[in-house]
Structure 1
Amino acid sequence: MTLTMSMERNRNETSVSTFVLLGLSDEKEVQRVLFPVFLGIYLMTLIWNLGLIIVIRMNSHLHTPMYFFLSFLSFLDICYSSSNSPRMLSDFLKDEKNISFIACATQYFIGCWMGQAECCILATMAYDRFVGIGRPLQYSSIMAPGLCHKLIAGAYGSGFLGSLVQTVSCFRLYYCGPNIIPNFYCDVTQIISLSCSDSYISQMILSLESILVGFGSFLVIILSHAITVASILKLSSIKGSAKVFNTCASHLVVVTIFYSTSLFMYLHPNSSHSKKQNKVLSVFYVILIPMLNPLSIVSGTRRSKRPSRG
């Protein structure tokens, strides 16, 4: 019994209580240049998404399912960006970039929640376009307000549960030695690699959720757009087909960047690509996508016209 208590005491004494984020660069001159750049990107993300939400709420002509989903997507992008950008910006001004164990878990939980919910909402918006363009006469009855609210609740709820499972499975592991994260935020793949205990179950949960939520929603988006384009090519003129193609293409560009970078990060073995590649990919889907997402979708929506609405 004495030996067991002694081992438990040693285990508690050597457990990690803080992590160290290396950030995008360890050179102060580079950090001084990066600070205003990423501050500008973060402010643009906040202004653009918040402005979009306000315009949609105030303009009665925009009270449609597509813009309803877009307002919640903008809210997710604000939360997603805010879970990482403020910490990254403050670290540019610090010599020591420490983050507590609890703060790291909280940051990851919020980011993962928003990320998974965003995948579901992007799939929902693709389905909305499929119904609006492919079944215009049935659009109002299918995309009723009740269904729209249920889809949003389902996206947020599934994201919350998925993030909770991932966070618990990751941060329940025992961390006893290395505590350096070679990134500007708490990346779960790099955190798990620091664990001193068996992380097989945590890695399996991460991979399964990435496949089910990430690849599953991406498949829904691709199929919805493919069916939509195929149906329009059969029925519409060349001019109408070009409009639909532009609508789908603007959405698919940012969606493809978001999914390809995130899936590569979470499904590809961490040892097979460099830390520099990791950071570059992280900047795309953590910093740039929240700013570009609503812009691309709005530009595509404005170019399109549903047959039923003229």
Structure 2
Amino acid sequence: MTFRSESSTVPSVVLNDGHVIPTLGFGVFQVADAEAFDVVSAALGAGYRSIDTAAIYGNEVEVGRAIRESGVPRDEIYVTTKLWNSEQGYDSTLRAFDESVSRLGLDYLDLYLIHWPVAQADRFVDTFRAFQTLKSQGRVGSIGVSNFTRDHLSRVMAETGEIPAVNQIELHPHLGQADLRAFHAENGITTEAWSPLGRGADLKDPVVVEIAEETGRTPAQVIIRWHLQLGNVVIPKSVTPSRIRENFDVFGFELTADQMHRVTALDQGTRIGPDPDVLTYGLDV
């Protein structure tokens, strides 16, 4: 299945709830609100039709304005945002959702994610129940999580009776997350990769550079293509218009099985971001 518009044809995957999500989206982590309008406008102009933000990023206002003023029909843009840690809990989640869609200036979300499990607070199950309420009200199409481990996912599924549609996790060549991806596959959870380029570090890996030379592509394009062929949804981020366009130009080539294996073999289990089992940032207990 594909997301189609006059300017974009991006392959999509079907989520476990029947909705579809473009396999390539655009992330706005660390994009200041002041530049978010121009950056998201450039991404939509390049053909991206999936925009991923979060309450904690502080840029929902201008991200939403760029979406509304893009000239692209709303139903052709897949919009994701995330609930921040301090807002977890049933009632506070419902309030936080209202605040996010108000800042975005949108009537509904395509995907809403719990940003981190922060299991120490023991609120993520009640938070997911609030997500289920929002979904039943038609205010969000799909509900999922971010940075959840196998144990966190198992508890959500057991106690709410619903499998999250998506788990957005740190995933790049130096952190392949093979075991967690396998668990996702067994349970029909779509894997979405944040920091898919390793915040730039993986672009310098000699193996990636070598494959870029072999394919006549950039290191970024090689890594994004690796994600897509693994079956990941991927949300690269850039604030440079030329790189925004370059990162989108990944559908005209394929990596060979050998090239895929060489990139996959780079996995060192090295995290750039926090460990989900211990992170408590933003937790108001």
TM range (shorter): under 0.3
Higher relative contact order (CA 8 A, sep 6+): 1
Name the TM-score, length of structure 2 as normaliser: 0.26
Structure number with the higher strand fraction is: 2
Structure number with the higher helix fraction is: 1
